[in-house]
Amino acid sequence: MGHGCSSATANRGQRQREMGGELCTRLRQSWRRLEGGLNDAVSKSRVGRYFKLEARKSCFTKEVRAGTATFLTMAYIITVNATILGDSGGTCSVSDCTIDIHLANANASTSTTQHKLGPDCKLKANVGYDNCLSKTKSDLIVATAVSSMIACFAMGLLANLPFALAPGMGVNAYFAYDLVGYHGSGSISYQTALAIVLVEGCVFLAIAAFGLRARLARLIPRPVRLACAAGIGLFIAFVGLQSQQGVGLVGPSSSTLVTLAACSRTNPVTGECENGKMQSPTFWLGAVGFLVTCYGLMKEIRGSMIYGILFVTLVSWIRGTSVTYFPNTTLGDTNYKYFKQVVEFHKIKSTAGAVSFRGFNRSEVWVALVTLLYVDVLATTGTLYSVAEVGEFIDENGSFEGEYLAYMVDAGSTVVGSALGVSPIATYIESSAGIREGGRTGLTALVVGFYFFLSLFFTPLLASVPPWAIGPSLIMVGVMMMRVAKDIEWVKVKEGAPAFVTMMLMPFTYSISNGVIGGVGLYVALSLYDLILSSLTWLMNMRKVVGGIRNQVNATATADSSADLL
């Protein structure tokens, strides 16, 4: 009897599974019919004909999936770019620093108090300056999202290509740490740097309009071009290893300049480790986030960079822990109060329209302009062609449909970005993720732009991402940018030495422009031998030619003289 009950139960379970399977099959079939009807309707509509969905063998739902995949792989740029540019201090200045009340009461004279509010207040913990930085980061998050949204919409509507754009990695590090400097410690102000980006965007727009982009890119020696990307990758990774901008694995040293850190406590003035190397809890949390990103990329999971950042950030949002981003301090309480709003449409208050042309008569400005233009042209050219090759858009002539407008959109977006307060806009290699999903038209770019639009309403959450969550992603970006180093012919000293100097100088001198200048200078110096040798060879050949002509003239003259005598 028990056996019969067991058989009945088994049969009932089997019937339920069969019914469940039939229900799932019906739902899948219904969804496919619905999806097919939607795709047919869009493809035959005016929108479908404008974006050439049928001609490019694509459909609406495939473009949506492609845009989602692209956004997931590049959404990290919203917080990463804001963090990097925020390290420049933005429009914050000494005037934003606040006086410690206890310190002010202890000092009898006003002059002593004013002395305490010198430029060094921007480099130390200061409540007023930190509050200004927090607001600036929120502004830069919105500026990054808005500029990316506009650029993606323009690329989709005008060029009809599935390419996504956002403030470029590499140039943003050059802008923040090389031009403006950490918290404004550089030789150029944030406002002047934006003016440089504006002029560079206009020049790039003119170059793209007249079709001179390829010729300008070929002016830079090939080994320096390749090493520039790798050197910028090392520079970005070095930033991600530091404490202020990343995980804090490296720190300053009075004896060796740089040393292993991740300390439990550091000197607030020098930044040197005072106690407990490799004992920083935030470093170990960031290291776990880095492993999460690496494992995701190993398994080719889309959005792995986001998942790594998200894991570290969620853990850091828990108050009362040693890794919290909201400690029980005045600044921590203020940040937590803003974080709890979750949804807010933040208006850009400080970075938009902050362009200033003061100081354009200095040589540093023009060096920065040339460097930005060079990096932008090379990055855009290389990325566009790489992504176009993935999508098999390139024809037998080496060009692709919409190429001219793509360059125009890229340059024009940089102009828009500078007006909002961000570094140059670039086409992202992450666009290949969407192309692999089947994205073939500008609808993919429009979907990416729509996601950037949605991110505008979550500024409190995006502004609360800690630096030890951003650091691992910066290191991973450095890993990806090092790929081009394999194409350098290291066995040839004429190529290997300039490439190595370019890559070495960027992180070691904390300057991307120094690396470019050093690499180009060494390449020219090593080319002098070949130039002199070719010049001597040409002179010797010319001498032989002239000598041969003279011999022919002499022989003709002798023959004529002999004829006259006869």
Give the confidence band of 498 by pLDDT, cuts at 50, 70, 90: very high
pLDDT at 38: 85
Q: What digits encode the pLDDT tens for the residues 387-399? A: 887 778 877 776 7
Task: Specify the DSSP class assigned to residue 56.
Answer: T
Residue 2 has pLDDT above 80, yes or no: no
In 3D, which of 239, 251, 222 has the Cα closest to residue 175? 239
Residue 211 has pLDDT above 90, yes or no: no
- The answer to whether residues 207 and 481 touch, using CB atoms and an 8 Å cutoff, is no
Between residues 545 and 76, which one has the greater pLDDT? 76
Residue 303 has pLDDT above 80, yes or no: no
pLDDT at 546: 65
pLDDT at 425: 93
- The answer to whether residues 432 and 313 touch, using CB atoms and an 8 Å cutoff, is no
When the pLDDT of each residue in the chain is averaged and rounded to a whole number, the result is 83
Q: What digits encode the pLDDT tens for the residues 127-161? A: 888 889 988 999 999 999 999 999 999 999 999 99
Give the confidence band of 555 by pLDDT, cuts at 50, 70, 90: low
Average pLDDT over residues 102-116: 46
* Full DSSP string of 421-451: T---EEE-TTHHHHHHTT--SHHHHHHHHHH
The pLDDT > 70 percentage for the chain reads: 87
Give the confidence band of 198 by pLDDT, cuts at 50, 70, 90: very high
- Which helix (DSSP H) or strand (DSSP E) does residue 275 occupy? strand 273-275
3-state DSSP helix/strand/coil % of the chain, to nearest 5: 70, 5, 30
- The answer to whether residues 67 and 448 touch, using CB atoms and an 8 Å cutoff, is yes
Average pLDDT over residues 111-115: 43
Residue 124 has pLDDT above 70, yes or no: yes
pLDDT at 103: 47
* Full DSSP string of 87-113: TTTTT--GGG----HHHHHH--SHHHH
Give the confidence band of 115 by pLDDT, cuts at 50, 70, 90: very low
pLDDT at 112: 42
Give the confidence band of 5 by pLDDT, cuts at 50, 70, 90: very low
The domain segmentation of the chain, as residue ranges, is 50-94+120-535
Q: What digits encode the pLDDT tens for the residues 216-274? A: 666 778 888 788 878 888 888 888 898 777 888 998 887 888 888 888 788 766 778 87
pLDDT at 109: 47
pLDDT at 154: 96
pTM of the full structure = 0.76
Spell out the residues 6+ positions from residue 553 whose beta carbon is closer than 8 angstroms to its own: none
Give the confidence band of 563 by pLDDT, cuts at 50, 70, 90: low
The pLDDT > 90 percentage for the chain reads: 27
Q: Round to whole Å and give the CA distance between 89 and 134.
A: 10
CA dihedral (129, 332, 471, 247) positive or negative: positive
Residue 515 has pLDDT above 60, yes or no: yes
Average pLDDT over residues 289-302: 88
Q: What digits encode the pLDDT tens for the residues 346-379? A: 888 899 999 999 888 888 898 889 888 877 777 7
Q: Round to whole Å and give the CA distance between 380 and 164.
A: 12
Q: What digits encode the pLDDT tens for the residues 18-30? A: 565 677 777 777 7
Give the confidence band of 551 by pLDDT, cuts at 50, 70, 90: low
